[in-house]
Structure 1
Amino acid sequence: MKKILLLLLCCSGLMAGAQQRYELNSGWTCTNVNDVKADGAAISKTGFALNNWMPATVPGTVLTTLLNNKKVPDPFYGMNNEKIADVYHTGNAHYTYWFVKDFEERAAGNEQVWLQFRGINYKAEIYLNGKKVNPKTQVGMHIRAQYNITPLLAANGKNRLAVIVYPPDFPGNPNGGQGGDGTIAKGLTTQYTAGWDWIQPTRDRNTGIWDKVTIEKTKSINIQNPHVVTLVPGKRLATGKQNPATVKVSIEVENPTSKAVSGTLQYEIAGKIIKQRATIAANQNTTVKLADLQIENPKLWWPSGYGDQNLYDLKIKFVAATQVLDQEALKVGIRQIDNIWNDHTKSMGTFVNGQKIFIKGGNWIISDAMLRFTDARYDAEVRYHKDMNLNLIRIWGGAILERPEFYNACDKYGLLVFQDFWFSGDCNGRWVDPMKKEDQWTRRNYPDDHPLVLTAIEDQIKMIRNHASLAFWCGGNEITPPDDILMPLKNDLLPRLDGTRQFFDFSNSDEMSYNSIGGNGDGPYGIQDIKTFWGTQTFPYNSEVGSVGVGDYASLLRFIPEKNLVAPQYKTKPDSVWDYHKYISYEQYLNPYGKPKDAKDFAMKAQLANYDQYRALMEGFSNKMWDWYTGSIIWKTQNPWTAMRGQMYDYYLDPNACLYGLRKGSEPLHVMMNPLDSMVTIVNNGFTTRNNLMVQAKAYDMEGKDYFYSQVFNSVGPSSVRRLFPLNEFLTKLDKKDGVFVSLRILDQKQNILSENIYWLPGKDGEYSGLKNMKQTPLKVSAANQNNGKVAVTLSNAAGNPVAFFNRVALINGSTNQRILPAFYDDNYVSILPGESKTVTVEYTGKQSNLAVEVYGWNVATQKVSVQ
C-alpha cells in the first residue's frame, strides 16, 4: 500500500509527469440502494442518468451526507439523535448507498493509474466504466485498498466510478451498554458507534467511504510503504553538537507490467543521497534494503517540553535512464525511543534519545464521531494537547488507528503516541455483562474474521510506522486480542514490519504498570478530593485516570436548548438533555462556592473545580516522579461529540478551565504546594540542573492585603523534584476564617517569572465564604493586534484592590460576539494580584476581522474591548 504522507506538486524538467496524486474529494453524488434498480455495471457508465441523486460527502459517512443535505437534524444538539433512525432497527438497507464520481484521467505509454481507498466501512463493491474493479468484495473498515485501473480507463478520458457501500453486518443493538450489546465487535469496525458511557449511538455506525479516495499516476514502477528507522545511540542533550545518528531505509517496489524493470532506487536526506541498483521482475512486488546512512551532528526530534521537534525531508525516487518512474516524500524525525523497566516504581520507563521522559498523557477517542476529519482540526486538537504541557496521547482501542494527518500534527508538536489496536474489554469479553447478547467465550473471539484482522494490522502498521511521534503499540483496551491474533502480532508482524517500539499486550497490563491494588486497573473517572492525587498511591503508570470536564456557559449554549439550561442539583437526576449527553454529577464540589443559582452560575463554578482537579492531578503525580510513578495518562482529554465529561476543550474546540489547570500543573519547571502539609515544592522536567532560582511565597486575604512568607534562592536537579519549605504554620497564623490566596513564584536572577501558581484556600469549615463575599474588582483590559495572527491582552489590577480572581479571556468577533474558534491562549482563567499586570497572548488561525476580547471573572464584571 502506498505511504501517503505528502501530496507532491508536479515539477518541471526531468520530474515532469513523473508522478501525480490527487484526491477525489468533491463532485460525488449518492442515493439509497432502494431508490435505484440498476446494477453497478450500468450505474458506472457515464450515460446512466443520476436524476434526483443528492450531493455526497466523500470522504465522509452516510450520516454526514444526510446531515449536509438536511435530511436529518444535527445529532450533536439536544436530543436530536433520538430523531434519527438507527440501523439496528431499520435494517442495513436503510444506510446502504451508491456513491458515484465522474473524473477525467487517461494513461499513455508506460503510465499506470492507481485507485486508492484509505478506508471504507464496511463492505464495498467498486465499478469503473461498466467494469468490476475489485475481484472480491472489499471488507473491513480498518484497511486500505489499491487497484490498478489503467486497463479500465475510458479512451476519451471521461470516467465514472461507482461504489456501493454496506453497513457492518452486525451493527449491534444500542441498548445502553458499552458498545451496545457487543455484537458491533463481530466485524472489524468502530465499537463506540453502538454507544458508550460517554457517547450516544452513531446511527449509521460510520457507514461510508469514510477516508480519502486518491488517484495516483506512476510510470512502470510503484514505490510503496517505505520503512525508515533512526538510531540515536547514547544519552543526548537537546542542545549542542550531537554525535552521529544512523538512518536505515527499506522500500517496497512494485512492477505491475509484463516486463522486468531495471533502474536506480535512491533516497535523499540532509543533503546526502544513497543509491541502490535494482531490477524488479514483471508483476512483482519486491522489498529493497538500501545502505545505512550516518548523519553527522543531526537535529534531533524530542517530545514536547524537552526539546525541538526537528523534521527532515526524505525523498525517494526510482530512476531508469533519465526518467523518474515514481517518487515519494515523507517527513522523518531522527530519534530513538527505548523502554526500561523501573523496578522501584514497578512500571515501564520511557527514554527518548537516552533521556528518561516523565509521561504526561491524555486519552484520545477520535476527532469526530461522524469522522469529519480535517488537517486543520487535527492540528488544533493536537496543539491543545501541547498547550496542556502533555507529551503523550493514547489512542483508545474502540475507535481507529489514527490517520497520517493526526500523526503529522503529533510529529509537529512533539506528542508521543500510544496506539491501541481494535479491541476492548467491554465488547471483547473481559467481564460478565448482562447488556451483552453473547457470552464471554463467544465475545472473546470477536472479530469473527481473524485473518482479516491480521491483514488489516499489517496494512495499518505500514501506514503510520515512519512517524517520529509513534512510540508504543498496544494489543487492545483493557484486553488482549485473541491468541491467534496476539501471537502473530507480537512474534511476526511487529518484529518484521517495525521492530523499534514497545508493545504492550493490553492497555492496563502489569507489563506497563504493576497493579498491586486489584480491581479493573483503570480509573477512577469522577471528581475527587484533590488531596487524593497527592496522598494516595495508585499503580504507577495508569493508562486511564480521570476526572470531570463540563464546558463553560458559552459551550453549553451550543448544544443545550434554552429550556434545558437548568443547573443540576446534587443527588437529583439531571435534566434529560444533560443526562443524554452523559453528565457526571459534581455539584457537591461546587456547593462550597455557593449553591449554583442557574446554568450560567453552575458553569462558572464548575470551571473552578475543573481547574483545581487537573492541576492537582498532575501536581500530585509529578510530586512522586520516579518514586511512585513514571507517568500517568488522563481519561480523557477530548470528546468526539457534545459530551459533558472528560474533556479539556469541547467538540467545537473551545477550551475550558481543565486545559489551563492541567497546563499549570504540567509545567516543565513548576512550583507547587502540597495540600496535605503545605510543602512548597519545585519540579524540573528538564535534562539539566536549574540553578539560582528564586522561590517566592506570599498570601493574600480577600481584601487584597498581602502577607510575605519567604523568598530564597534554590536549585533543582535534572528530571527531579525538590521539597523546599512548609507553609502550614504560616497559614495557620493568618487564621483567616474565610480563606486566603497563596501565591508561589519562581524567578530568575533578572526577576523574570519562570513559574507562578495561585491557590485559593477555603476557610476552616471547608466553605469558600471569602470568595462568596468578595468585592468586585475593576480590572483594566487592553488588547493589541500583533499583526501575526496574535493578540496581546493585558489585564491590570490597581494597588489596593482585592485579587482580580479567575478571569476568562475570550477572543471574539466584535460584531457577532461569537468566540473565534479555535484560539490558543498561553494562559487563561488567570488571577491578577493587586498592583500587578499580566499579558495573555492569544493566537488564532485564518483571516479574522473586527476582533474584540471579552473578559469576565469571579469578581470582575464582563468587559468587551476592541482589539487595537
Structure 2
Amino acid sequence: MTFRPLTTDGGLAWTLAATNGPIPTELSGRTVPATVPGEVQLDLMAADLIGDPFDGDNEKAQEWIGCTDWRYRTTFSWAPTGHDREDLVADGLDTAATITLNGTVVATTANQHRSYRFDVTSLLVEGENEILVDFRAPVEFAREQEAILGALPTVMHHPFNAVRKTASNFGWDWGIDVASSGILRRIGLESWSGVRIAAVRPLVDVAGSVAGSSTGTGVLTAHVDLEWAGAPGSADVEVVVAGVASRIAASPTQSSVELRVDAGEVPLWYPRGYGSQPLHDVTVTAGDARWEGRVGFRTVGLDTTPDEHGTPFTISINGVAVYAKGANWIPGDPFLTRMTPERYRASVVDAVEAGMNILRIWGGGIYESDAFYDVCDELGVLVWQDFLFACAAYSEEDPLRSEVEAEARENVVRLSRHASLVMWNGCNENIWGYLEWDWRRRIGDRTWGEGYYTELLPAIVAELDPTRPYSPGSPFSFTRWAHPNDERHGTMHIWTVWNDLDYEAYRSYRPRFASEFGFQGPPAWTTLTDVVHDDPIDPYGHEMLVHQKAFEGNAKLERGLGAHLPRWRSIDEWHWSTQLNQARAVALGIEHFRSLYPLNTGSIVWQLNDEWPVISWAAVDVHGHRKPLWFALRKVYADRLLTFQPRAGSLALVAHNDHAEGWMETITVSRRRLDGTVLSEHAVPLDIAARGIATTALPAEVLRSGDERGEYLVAHGSDGSSAFHYFVEDTSLALAVPADALSVSTEAVEGGVRVTVTVHSLVKDLVLQVDRVDRSARVDDGLVTIEAGGSHTFTVTGAGDTSSWAGFPLLSSVNDLVAG
C-alpha cells in the first residue's frame, strides 16, 4: 500500500484560476501558482494580487473572493503499480467541489468537515493525467442551499447554517469575513491490494481500579473497519498495545472486526494537576496495511444527578471529580492551512501556563487537527468537543442531514483515540436560541436541529464512542422542565454582564458550571496598530471598528469602565484601561465562581485565542501576545486561590484548594496604608482538605477603615498566593503618581533583559507592554501589584537592554490612569 501525494510538496505545479463571478480585470483569464494544501486568498497574496486581508479595510475590498468560483488544476504522470485499486483520497475540501480526472467527473462534494475517497482505477492513464478541482463560490453556494432548504434563523449575515463549512469563516463577532475556498489537507493517490484498514476505534476502559488510583487494569477494545479489493484471501488482523497483542483472522466477507486487548496493570492518564499523562502506542495491522496511534487508559464520567440545589455538571476522570478551569477555543487562523503543529502547541501551552485543565472546541469552528489533540493528550488538557452547530437553526432534511451524519460518524471515529477528549456536545446555544431568541415564531413547524441534538448525535456517540458522555447543548439544564440557561441546572452562559451590566453583576449568579462568559479588551498595541491606520487613531475610527466585530463593542468597552476606571485622556490610556478592565471583569467572575465550590464545578471563559488582529474576548492575541487577561487568569486559575468575597453583609476570606494535597498554614490578613504602614492584622488559620474550600469571616477591626481612599486589605500565603481588597474604586483611590511611587532598573541577560521595579507607595496592576519595544518580545509576568517597600523583577525575552523601560505606556499601572 502506497500513498502518492498530489501536493505542491510532492513536486506538482498546481495553478489557480477564477472561473465565474465578480472577477477583477487583472485576474480574468489568468492562472496563478497555487500551493496545495492551501487556500485561495493565500495564493492571491503570494502572487501580489491582493493585500493582507487582515490589514486596514481589506476585508471589505476582498468580499468578491467568496462570491467567485475557483479552479485548482495540475497534471501528474502515472504508471501502473500492479495494485488492484487506485484511490483518489482528499482529506479536506472547502467546500462545494467538483473533482474531474482526465475529463471525467469523479465526484461532487459539499462538506469541509469530512474526507473523501474514490476508486479511480479505470480513469487513470499511463503517462500524463490531469486533475481539476472546481470550487463553487462559498457565499453563493450557501445562498443556493438556503433556497433549497428554506431560510432559518442565524446570528450572522451569511446563511452559514445551510452548508457544512466553518461557520466563523463567514465572519463572527470576533472573526473576519473571508469566506474561503481551497484544498485544506492532503490529496493524492493511494495504491493498494487485498485488505485496507479503513478506520480504527481504539476504545479504552479500566478494570479493577479504585477511584483516584495511579494504576489499573487497562482494557483496549479495537474496532477495525476493513475494505477489500481484488480476490484476496483471509488476513490476520493484529492489535498491539502496552506490549500485549491480540489477533484474529478476517475474511473478505467481514467489513469490520473487534479485538480486545487486556493490557494488564498500566499507569492511568489524568488531566494536569490530578496525575500524570502516560500514553501507549497502539499498532493495528491487517495484511500489509498498518495503522498507528496512541491511547491513554482512563475512564470518564459526567454527573448530572439531581441534588438539593438542582442539577450538577461534574466531569470525573478515573472516578475523581475534576474542577474545570479552562477556556473556549476557536480556530487559530481563518486560513486553516497556516496552522502548524508548532502553533497548536504554543496555544495549548498558553492554556497550561495559565493554569487551565480544559479547552472547549466551540461549535462554530472545526473538528481540529490531530496535532491539537496530540498536544492536549501529552500535556493533560481535557477537551470538550462541540459538534459543529452554533448560534443558528439547522434544517434536518437532505441534502444537509446526510452530510451531518457522515461528518459526525467520521470525526467520532477519528478522534476516539485521544485520551484528552472527554465530552461530546451537540450544539452551541441553539436550544437556548429556539426558546428565547424569537426563533419559534419564525420557524413554525419546520425542523431546526433538535433532532440532531437529541436523537441523531447521541445515537452516533452511543454506537461509536460509548466511553464518553454526551450533552445536547451548551448551555443545557439536563431536565426538560428547566430553561436551558438556568443557573441551577447544568451548564450556563453568562452574557448579560458584557452586553448590559456592570461586571460586579457576576456575583449575582450562582452557576453550577459556567461554560461561557467573558469581557472584551484590545490586543497588544502593535497587533492593533499594525493593521489600523486611522489618523489620528481613535476607538471609533473607521478601521478600528473594522477590527471590532461585536455589536456596539467599543461603546460597551467604554460603558464597562463604569465607576471602576476613569475615562481615557489619550488613545494609549484607552488601550490600557480597556485591557485592564477586561482582566478585572473576568477575574472577578472566576473568583466568585470558585468561591461557590462545590456548588460550582468549573468555568470555561470565552475565549483563549484569536484568529486575526481584533478587539475581542481573547486572553492571547493572534500574534501570541498574552494580554493582561491572561495574567489575571493565571492567578485566578492557580491551584490555591485566596479571594475576598462579600458574605452576610460583610467581607470574608475564601480559600479554594484545588490541589491533591491539603492546605495547612496561617494566612495573615492586614489593613495597610498605601505607604505600607500596617494598621491592623488578623491571623486566619487554614486546614483545608485536598480539593476543599474554607470561608472565614473577618473581624470588624480589620475591615473598619479610617481612610478608605488611602487604605487597603491584603492577604498573603506562604506559596506566593495573595488577595487584595480596596474600600473604594480606583477613581477614588489616593494612589501616588508613578514618578513618585516607583523606580526602575534594568540588567541585560542572555536573550533579553531583567526589569526590576521598586516602589515607595502602592503600585497597582503593573504591566510591561513589551511589544512596544519589540514585536517579538515577551514578558514572564504582568498585572502585578507591588506594595510599598517591595520590588518585582520582570524577565523580558526577545528584546535587548534599553534605557526606555520606564514610563507610560511601556510601564502601565492603575496609578498612571488615576494619578498620572
TM-score after normalising by structure 2: 0.83
Distance 1:625 1:52, change over 3 A: same
Secondary structure of the 1:232 match is strand
Q: Name 2:37's counterpart in structure 1.
A: 59
Distance 1:403 1:241, change over 3 A: closer
Q: Distance in 1 between matches of 2:534 and 2:454?
A: 54
* Matched letter for residue 616 of structure 2: R
Segments of 5+ residues of structure 2 without an aligned counterpart are 22-27, 432-447, 814-820
Which string of whole-angstrom CA distances, capped at 9 and with x for unpartnered residues, describes residues 202-237 of structure 1? 2xx222223333555555332122111111357757
Distance 1:171 1:598, change over 3 A: farther
Task: Tell me the CA shift for residue 693 of structure 1.
Answer: 2.7
Q: Name 2:412's counterpart in structure 1.
A: 461
* Matched letter for residue 605 of structure 1: S
8 Å CA contact 1:774–1:859 kept in 2: the answer is: no
Pick the aligned partner of 1:351 from 311, 316, 321.
316
Task: Tell me the CA shift for residue 99 of structure 1.
Answer: 1.0
Q: Superposition pairs for residues 700-849 of structure 1, below 5 Å?
A: 700-706=672-678, 709-711=681-683, 713-726=685-698, 729-733=701-705, 735-740=707-712, 742-747=713-718, 753=719, 755-759=720-724, 761=726, 763=728, 767-770=732-735, 775-782=740-747, 784-785=749-750, 794-798=754-758, 801-809=760-768, 817-820=773-776, 827-836=781-790, 838=792
Which string of whole-angstrom CA distances, capped at 9 and with x for unpartnered residues, describes residues 17-38 of structure 1? x655757254432111259xxx
Distance 1:300 1:107, change over 3 A: farther
Q: Superposition pairs for residues 591-740 of structure 1, below 5 Å?
A: 592-627=564-599, 629-674=600-645, 677-690=650-663, 692-706=664-678, 709-711=681-683, 713-726=685-698, 729-733=701-705, 735-740=707-712
Which string of whole-angstrom CA distances, capped at 9 and with x for unpartnered residues, describes residues 486-510 of structure 1? 4652464222211122222222121
Pick the aligned partner of 1:376 from 342, 345, 359.
342
8 Å CA contact 2:326–2:359 kept in 1: the answer is: yes
Pick the aligned partner of 2:98 from 125, 128, 134.
125
8 Å CA contact 2:767–2:783 kept in 1: the answer is: yes
How many correspondences in the alignment? 764
Q: Superposition pairs for residues 111-122 of structure 1, below 5 Å?
A: 114-122=87-95
Runs of 4+ in 1 over 6 A off after TM superposition: 517-520, 848-854, 857-860
8 Å CA contact 1:25–1:212 kept in 2: the answer is: no
1:338 aligns with 2:331: no
TM-score after normalising by structure 1: 0.79
8 Å CA contact 1:172–1:181 kept in 2: the answer is: no
Task: Tell me the CA shift for residue 637 of structure 1.
Answer: 2.8
8 Å CA contact 1:190–1:399 kept in 2: the answer is: yes
Q: Superposition pairs for residues 161-176 of structure 1, below 5 Å?
A: 161-168=131-138, 169-172=140-143
Q: Distance in 2 between matches of 1:660 and 1:370?
A: 28
Q: Superposition pairs for residues 67-466 of structure 1, below 5 Å?
A: 67-86=45-64, 92=67, 94=68, 96-103=69-76, 108-110=81-83, 114-128=87-101, 130=102, 132=104, 134=106, 136-149=107-120, 152-153=123-124, 155=126, 160-168=130-138, 169-172=140-143, 179-181=155-157, 183-202=159-178, 205-216=179-190, 218=192, 220-233=194-207, 241-255=214-228, 257-281=229-253, 286-296=255-265, 298-319=266-287, 325-342=288-305, 343=307, 344-371=309-336, 372-425=338-391, 427-428=392-393, 445=396, 448-466=399-417
| Percent identity (aligned) | 21
Task: Tell me the CA shift for residue 51 of structure 1.
Answer: 10
8 Å CA contact 1:541–1:630 kept in 2: the answer is: yes
8 Å CA contact 2:746–2:801 kept in 1: the answer is: no
Task: Tell me the CA shift for residue 860 of structure 1.
Answer: 8.3
Q: Name 1:509's counterpart in structure 2.
A: 476
Q: Distance in 2 between matches of 1:739 and 1:505?
A: 50
8 Å CA contact 1:614–1:665 kept in 2: the answer is: no
8 Å CA contact 1:389–1:666 kept in 2: the answer is: yes
8 Å CA contact 1:187–1:446 kept in 2: the answer is: no
Distance 1:826 1:850, change over 3 A: closer
Q: Distance in 2 between matches of 1:373 and 1:65?
A: 16
Task: Tell me the CA shift for residue 665 of structure 1.
Answer: 0.6
Task: Tell me the CA shift for residue 773 of structure 1.
Answer: 6.8
8 Å CA contact 1:613–1:661 kept in 2: the answer is: no
Secondary structure of the 1:243 match is strand
Secondary structure of the 1:633 match is strand
* Matched letter for residue 548 of structure 1: Q
Q: Distance in 1 between matches of 2:211 and 2:633?
A: 26
Distance 1:267 1:758, change over 3 A: same
Q: Distance in 2 between matches of 1:254 and 1:602?
A: 61
Distance 1:661 1:857, change over 3 A: farther
Secondary structure of the 2:248 match is strand
Task: Tell me the CA shift for residue 745 of structure 1.
Answer: 2.8
Secondary structure of the 1:458 match is helix
Q: Name 1:550's counterpart in structure 2.
A: 522
8 Å CA contact 1:524–1:547 kept in 2: the answer is: no
Which string of whole-angstrom CA distances, capped at 9 and with x for unpartnered residues, describes residues 587-625 of structure 1? 345475443121112222223322222221211111001
Distance 1:291 1:19, change over 3 A: farther
1:31 aligns with 2:17: yes
* Matched letter for residue 495 of structure 1: A
Task: Tell me the CA shift for residue 289 of structure 1.
Answer: 0.8
1:472 aligns with 2:450: no
Task: Tell me the CA shift for residue 183 of structure 1.
Answer: 2.8
Secondary structure of the 1:313 match is strand
* Matched letter for residue 622 of structure 1: R
8 Å CA contact 1:249–1:290 kept in 2: the answer is: yes
Q: Name 1:523's counterpart in structure 2.
A: 495
1:494 aligns with 2:461: yes
Q: Name 2:442's counterpart in structure 1.
A: none
More moved, 136-145 vs 26-35: 26-35
Task: Tell me the CA shift for residue 309 of structure 1.
Answer: 2.6
> Higher helix share goes to which structure?
2
Q: Distance in 1 between matches of 2:801 and 2:402?
A: 55
* Matched letter for residue 640 of structure 1: E
8 Å CA contact 2:676–2:789 kept in 1: the answer is: no
Distance 1:659 1:266, change over 3 A: same
Distance 1:178 1:675, change over 3 A: farther
8 Å CA contact 1:185–1:447 kept in 2: the answer is: no
Secondary structure of the 2:515 match is coil
8 Å CA contact 1:541–1:631 kept in 2: the answer is: yes
8 Å CA contact 2:325–2:604 kept in 1: the answer is: yes
Q: Distance in 2 between matches of 1:647 and 1:287?
A: 44
Q: Distance in 2 between matches of 1:377 and 1:23?
A: 25
Q: Distance in 1 between matches of 2:79 and 2:717?
A: 66
* Matched letter for residue 732 of structure 2: E
8 Å CA contact 1:133–1:147 kept in 2: the answer is: no
8 Å CA contact 1:648–1:657 kept in 2: the answer is: yes
8 Å CA contact 2:364–2:390 kept in 1: the answer is: yes
Q: Name 1:436's counterpart in structure 2.
A: none
Q: Distance in 1 between matches of 2:745 and 2:672?
A: 20
Q: Distance in 2 between matches of 1:339 and 1:766?
A: 45
